[in-house]
Amino acid sequence: MRALVLLLALLLTACGGLAAAKSDYKAGRVPEAKERLLALEADSRGWGDGKRCEYALYRGLVHIELGDRATAAKWLHEAKKLEDASPGTLSEDDQTRLKVALESIEPSAN
């Protein structure tokens, strides 16, 4: 029972961390978003495809804003791969963000 409570607390913290990172990004606090996302990276590897896709998208968006196109491309391609494998994984708004971000780094990307 104790292990279940601990697992639940960890999952809620991870989701809250991602939500906070997204909020920071959307509010223009890109360095703070990056720090939150970096802190979540190890945990994100164990998340389901939906949360991992969101994580990868926002990692990519943050790196675009910081001028690191190569790293942004890595994360955005991961998000696209996850979204393509399970269409609808991302919200419509995040699907648009992904599409625009990919087009900004690779004008011929779909």
pLDDT tens-digit readout, 18-60: 999 999 999 999 999 999 999 999 999 999 999 999 999 999 9
Residue 106: predicted pLDDT: 84
Residue 14: predicted pLDDT: 45
Question: What is the C-alpha separation between 61 and 96, in angstroms, rounded?
Answer: 12
Residue 8 clears pLDDT 50, i.e. is over it: no
Q: Please, where are the H alpha helices in the chain?
A: 2-26, 30-44, 49-65, 69-85, 92-105
Residue 68 clears pLDDT 50, i.e. is over it: yes
CATH topology of domain 2-105: 1.25.40
Question: pLDDT of 77-110, one tens digit each?
Answer: 999 999 999 999 999 999 999 999 999 998 764 4
Taking the CA atoms of 6, 55, 79 and 110 in sequence, report the sign of the dihedral they define: positive
Tokens encoding 105: 């780094």
Question: What is the C-alpha separation between 72 and 92, in angstroms, rounded?
Answer: 20
58 burial (CB, 10 Å; 0-12 / 13-18 / 19+) is buried
Residue 9: predicted pLDDT: 43
Token pair 């910081």 is found at: 66
